[in-house]
Amino acid sequence: MKKTKLVVIGGDAAGMSAASKVRREQPDFEIIVFEKSEYTSYSACGIPYFISGKVEELDELIVRSPTQFIEKYNIQAKTLHEVLEVDTDQNRILVCNRKDKTQFWESYDALLIATGGKAFCPEVKNHTANGIFGIQTLTSGSKVDTFLKKHQPKSAVIIGGGYIGLEMAEALILRGMKVTIVDRAPEVMSTLDPDMGKKVHEALENLGVEIFNSESLDHFEEKDGLVSAVVTDKQTIKTNLVILGMGTAPNTSFLINSNIELSEKKAIKVNDKQQTNVKNVWSAGDCAETLHLVSNKPFYIALGTVANKTGLVAGTNIAGGDLKFPGVVATAVCKICVHEIARTGLLEKECVDLKIDFVSTIIKSKTRAHYYPEAKDIFVKLIAEKGTGKLLGGQIIGEEGAAKRIDVLATALTYKLTLQNIIDLDLSYAPPFSPVWDPVQTAARKLIGMI
């Protein structure tokens, strides 16, 4: 009997989670993965820590190599193979072997598209100059490290003050560089409300980071093939290293002429089983759209957590199982030096756009009992629906021990809990870990008086 053939495009978190799951469930499937870079199954999230030197070798970020995939799992992972086109009428894809530049068509019975996202880069003058890097794949991390060793720049400009920009700022500070952040938004970390973003701004300035908000990139200057300056709508900043942290866009341009339905943001539309609109074509990870469980609207978010989970769901269903991915509440954490930043749910601005009547508050508490050594400040912001007290969103900034408290709020959002439900939670306490009222409950107690 002919074996069912699964073809996966993209060999990282989502693609390899799915391929591995299919292998566990279906030992007889033929599984081929096409990956355009030279790496499979790596941690892009670890790139800033490799750049900073906390992780010494790039190889430490690789979970499984193509050799391990074939030897242990009988999955053929073909690296340096880029998929150029998907022909869903004839169930085949056009592949380019980047080593010898040859092209060939590969047929499939089931296709999973897991091509992730790409760092957004506007096509402004000199945007291809050497020294300008978007951080997305392990290859990009390796290129930045090689550039730093070769050119030893003293300063860097990061365009975009989101979490990748901030993590890269930490990495470059730890490498002894002067860091400037340029962001067109009025405050850094636009995934937070501006009042919480301001606290991140202050923390960054205390670390010596120079920040220019409400300032947009116009173009780059280039000298002898190397970037020499960032030109904004307000000034020219001399630098030989630029990191792009302007957001992630779904990597789907090769699908433009296919029958696969894309969203306005060009993410692949999927149902809760990760199926696209085309039979036997699935998608997962940063190239796919998902559902926001608080707004109940389609949503695009590029995170490793979501990529691994949607990959598992896609793999289960491709293998004949029945699993659903419910959606996300947009939970994310990041760290810059000693400062931890976390967010989940809706921002105030999103509540306004959705015409939800809300109340919000920010409280300042401590990460441990006030008398316990190393107790640090922690700020918790909660947003809740006026009248019902249903939690809508939460943001946390503080030092060690602050960020992971967001998981309590993410759980509350997932299960549509109210402020009273949060106050009622039997959360843990001992002086080294928290005050007797955990800061998230202190915030809920304050906000409940305002609903």
Ligand X SMILES: Cc1cc2nc3c(=O)[nH]c(=O)nc-3n(C[C@H](O)[C@H](O)[C@H](O)COP(=O)(O)OP(=O)(O)OC[C@H]3O[C@@H](n4cnc5c(N)ncnc54)[C@H](O)[C@@H]3O)c2cc1C
* Residues noted as catalytic: 45
**Contact with ligand X (CB under 6 A): which of 6, 7, 8, 14?**
14
Q: Does 253 bind ligand X (CB under 6 A)?
A: no
**Contact with ligand X (CB under 6 A): which of 6, 32, 47, 196?**
47
When the beta carbons of 97 and 280 are compared against ligand X, the nearer one is 97
Q: Does 160 bind ligand X (CB under 6 A)?
A: no
Q: Does 244 bind ligand X (CB under 6 A)?
A: no
Residues in the chain: 451
Q: Give min distance, CB of 371 to ligand X, in A.
A: 33
**Contact with ligand X (CB under 6 A): which of 6, 9, 129, 217?**
9
Q: Does 116 bind ligand X (CB under 6 A)?
A: yes
Q: Does 114 bind ligand X (CB under 6 A)?
A: yes
Site string for ligand X, 73-102 (x = CB under 6 A): ---------xx-------------------
Q: Does 137 bind ligand X (CB under 6 A)?
A: yes
**Contact with ligand X (CB under 6 A): which of 304, 337, 361, 411?**
304
**Contact with ligand X (CB under 6 A): which of 26, 91, 136, 365?**
136
When the beta carbons of 46 and 401 are compared against ligand X, the nearer one is 46
Q: Does 117 bind ligand X (CB under 6 A)?
A: yes
Q: Give min distance, CB of 64 to ligand X, in A.
A: 13
Q: Does 37 bind ligand X (CB under 6 A)?
A: yes
Single-letter residue type at 163:
Y
CA angle (195 as vertex; 194, 197 as ends), nearest 5? 55
Q: Does 36 bind ligand X (CB under 6 A)?
A: yes
When the beta carbons of 249 and 351 are compared against ligand X, the nearer one is 249
Q: Give min distance, CB of 139 to ligand X, in A.
A: 7
When the beta carbons of 117 and 398 are compared against ligand X, the nearer one is 117
Which of 71, 114, 105, 103 is closest to 86 using CA atoms?
A: 105
Instruction: Spell out the residues 6+ positions from residue 280 whose beta carbon is closer than 8 angstroms to its own.
Output: 91, 108, 109, 110, 111
As a whole number of angstroms, the distance between CA 256 and CA 441 comes to 48
Q: Give min distance, CB of 36 to ligand X, in A.
A: 4
Q: Does 254 bind ligand X (CB under 6 A)?
A: yes
Q: Does 252 bind ligand X (CB under 6 A)?
A: no
Q: Does 120 bind ligand X (CB under 6 A)?
A: no
How many CA within 13 A on the CB side of residue 72?
A: 8
**Contact with ligand X (CB under 6 A): which of 5, 25, 30, 45?**
45
Q: Which two tokens stand for residue 441?
A: 């409950």
Q: Give min distance, CB of 278 to ligand X, in A.
A: 17
Q: Which two tokens stand for residue 263?
A: 């969203």
Q: Give min distance, CB of 364 to ligand X, in A.
A: 26
Q: Does 285 bind ligand X (CB under 6 A)?
A: yes
Which of 157, 192, 111 is closest to 360 using CA atoms?
A: 192
Stretch that binds ligand X, among 66-74, 115-123, 192-200, 420-428 (CB under 6 A): 115-123
Three-state secondary structure along the chain? CCCCEEEEECCCHHHHHHHHHHHHHCCCCEEEEEECCCCCCECHHHHHHHHHCCCCCHHHHECCCHHHHHHHHCCEEEECEEEEEEECCCCEEEEEECCCCEEEEEECCEEEECCCEEECCCCCCCCCCECEEECCCHHHHHHHHHHHHHHCCCEEEEECCCHHHHHHHHHHHHCCCEEEEEECCCCCCCCCCHHHHHHHHHHHHHCCCEEEECCCEEEEEEECCEEEEEEECCCEEECCCEEECCCEEECCHHHCCCCCCECCCCCECCCCCCECCCCCEEECHHHECEEECCCCEEECCCCHHHHHHHHHHHHHHHCCCCCCCCCECCCEEEEECCEEEEEEECCHHHHHHCCCCEEEEEEEEECCCCCCCCCCEEEEEEEEECCCCEEEEEEEEECCCCHHHHHHHHHHHHCCCEHHHHHHCCCCCCCCCCCCCCHHHHHHHHHHCCC
**Contact with ligand X (CB under 6 A): which of 48, 327, 401, 439?**
48
Q: Give min distance, CB of 268 to ligand X, in A.
A: 11
Q: Does 21 bind ligand X (CB under 6 A)?
A: no
Q: Does 135 bind ligand X (CB under 6 A)?
A: yes
Q: Does 106 bind ligand X (CB under 6 A)?
A: no
Q: Give min distance, CB of 41 to ligand X, in A.
A: 9
When the beta carbons of 33 and 444 are compared against ligand X, the nearer one is 33
Q: Which residues bind ligand X (CB under 6 A)?
A: 9-15, 34-37, 44-45, 47-48, 82-83, 114-117, 135-137, 164, 167, 251, 254, 285-286, 302-305, 307
